[in-house]
């Protein structure tokens, strides 16, 4: 007689925000085999970027790859295109890009924390985190003019400047947020039922993380100090003294703590960027067309976001290759799910913060 049973999770499931299908092979309660299927929301963005849209418009198209890290995608594309064109960017624009990226990271991390709390059965914490997330959403809306699709970055600089009013608003909202996130952190650390659901569940060891090319908060929770913000000189993280956050446990709790501590780090980065915001233009005049190949990475909330561009002096690009963090962390996700209890699966999946519309693009 067969000893295992197959249980599907997804593509539509109450614990999943977005469509992904897992097929678990279970022995009693323990998961022994996992198969993942992504790509239910494929929209052909890579093809559209090379056929329908000109290179100046592609920045707005790739922002539609993902609603949560829209600005990261357009920043990464813009940096890659600027590299190909030899385009200069004013320092003020670089700083503004960094502020927008970090605000985006805060709101994405807060969404993920809310979602992990919900999947652990803690609805009240979910509501509370989402309520506090509204503070950073307002700051973003004031800065960029939109709530979800910012359309803030364009080739040569950024689209709008910040005034002293907006700066004061961002500072005030971030000050409030720091307090609230402190309270949430206390809950995540000390709440007894949350620690039952999180501690020692879904462990990825450092060795496994290296083997599966883990990235983002996932790698940092396993003790690997791997952060693109340290490894890329295209945004002024070095000037602001960025320090990455690492934990060593590698379980869901560690991943949540990395996210919470990164929120504080992001707030600190934004505040010091606002303090040292250089004066000057926000956009330079765009000259020429892209030519050659470029490889560009930006740290998205979920890990590294990679763009490869190839162009040959035309209005249309030859090839746009997008690698999104969730797609790269699916093997690590499978590794973490093996050996776990089936009942823990939703919490483990949520702790990876999967973004499937990024993945399938």
* Helix, strand, coil percentages in the chain from 3-state DSSP, rounded to 5: 50, 15, 35
83 binds other proteins (CB under 8 A): yes
What is the spatial distance between Cα 305 and Cα 229, in angstroms, rounded to a whole number? 11
13 binds other proteins (CB under 8 A): no
Q: DSSP string of 88-145? A: ---HHHHHHHHHHHHHHHHHHHHHHHHHHHHHTT-HHHHHHHHHHHHHHHHHHHHHHS
Choose, by CB under 8 A, the member of 172, 231, 248, 278 that binds other proteins: 231
151 binds other proteins (CB under 8 A): yes
- Specify the residue, 126 or 226, whose C-beta has the smaller distance to other proteins: 226
Site size toward other proteins, by CB under 8 A: 65
The alpha carbon torsion through 77, 107, 20, 333 (nearest 10 deg) reads: 90
> x/- binding map, residues 159-198, to other proteins, per CB under 8 A?
xx----x-----------------x---x--x--------
88 binds other proteins (CB under 8 A): no
40 binds other proteins (CB under 8 A): yes
232 binds other proteins (CB under 8 A): yes
Give, as one character, the DSSP assignment of residue 64. Answer: G
**Sign of CA pseudo-dihedral 4, 11, 332, 181:** negative
Choose, by CB under 8 A, the member of 23, 230, 272, 341 that binds other proteins: 230
What is the spatial distance between Cα 97 and Cα 63, in angstroms, rounded to a whole number? 14
Angle 111-342-336 from CA coordinates, rounded to 5°: 65
Choose, by CB under 8 A, the member of 88, 210, 243, 291 that binds other proteins: 210
The residues, ordered by sequence, that sit 6+ positions from 331 with a Cβ below 8 Å of its Cβ are 212, 213
Shortest distance, position 131 Cβ to other proteins, whole Å: 5
* Residue 202 burial (10 A CB sphere; 0-12, 13-18, 19+): buried
Considering only residues 42 to 61 of the shown chain, the ones binding other proteins according to CB under 8 A are 42, 44, 46-47, 50-51, 53, 56-57, 60-61
The residues, ordered by sequence, that sit 6+ positions from 265 with a Cβ below 8 Å of its Cβ are 242, 243, 244, 245
Stretch that binds other proteins, among 171-179, 194-202, 240-248, 315-323 (CB under 8 A): 315-323
- Specify the residue, 25 or 294, whose C-beta has the smaller distance to other proteins: 294
Chain residues that interact with other proteins, rule: CB under 8 A: 37-40, 42, 44, 46-47, 50-51, 53, 56-57, 60-61, 83, 124, 131, 134, 138, 141-142, 145-146, 149, 151, 154, 159-160, 165, 183, 187, 190, 210-213, 215, 225-226, 230-234, 293-297, 304, 306, 308, 310, 316, 318-319, 321, 323, 327-328, 330-331, 335, 360
């Amino acid at each position: 007689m067969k000893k295992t049973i197959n249980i599907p999770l997804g593509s539509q499931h109450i614990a999943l925000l977005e469509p992904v299908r897992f097929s678990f092979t279970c022995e009693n309660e323990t998961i022994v085999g996992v198969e993942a299927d992504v790509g239910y929301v494929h929209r052909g963005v890579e093809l559209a970027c090379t056929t329908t849209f000109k290179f100046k418009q592609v920045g707005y198209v790739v922002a539609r790859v993902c609603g949560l890290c829209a600005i990261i995608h357009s920043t990464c594309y813009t940096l890659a295109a600027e590299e190909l064109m030899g385009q200069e960017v004013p320092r003020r624009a670089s700083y503004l890009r960094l502020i927008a990226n970090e605000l985006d990271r805060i709101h994405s991390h807060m969404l993920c924390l809310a979602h992990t709390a919900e999947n652990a059965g803690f609805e009240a914490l979910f509501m509370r985190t989402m309520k506090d997330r509204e503070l950073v959403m307002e700051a973003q809306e004031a800065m960029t003019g939109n709530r979800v699709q910012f359309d803030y970055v364009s080739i040569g600089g950024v689209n709008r400047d910040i005034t002293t009013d907006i700066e004061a608003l961002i500072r005030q909202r971030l000050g409030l947020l720091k307090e609230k996130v402190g309270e949430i952190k206390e809950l995540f650390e000390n709440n007894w039922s949350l620690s039952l659901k999180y501690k020692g569940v879904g462990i990825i060891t450092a060795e496994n993380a290296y083997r599966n090319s883990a990235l983002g908060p996932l790698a940092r929770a396993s003790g690997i100090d791997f952060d693109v913000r340290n490894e890329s000189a295209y945004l002024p993280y070095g000037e602001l003294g960025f320090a990455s956050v690492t934990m060593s446990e590698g379980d869901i709790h560690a991943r949540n703590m990395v996210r919470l501590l990164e929120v504080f780090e992001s707030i600190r980065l934004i505040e010091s960027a606002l303090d040292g915001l250089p004066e000057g233009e926000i956009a330079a005049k765009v000259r020429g067309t892209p030519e050659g190949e470029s490889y560009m990475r930006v740290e998205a909330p979920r890990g590294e976001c990679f763009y490869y561009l190839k162009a040959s002096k035309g209005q249309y690009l030859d090839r746009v290759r997008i690698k999104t963090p969730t797609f790269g962390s699916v093997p690590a996700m499978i590794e973490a799910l093996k050996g776990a209890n089936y009942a823990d699966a939703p919490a483990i999946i949520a702790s990876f913060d999967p973004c499937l519309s990024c993945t399938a693009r």
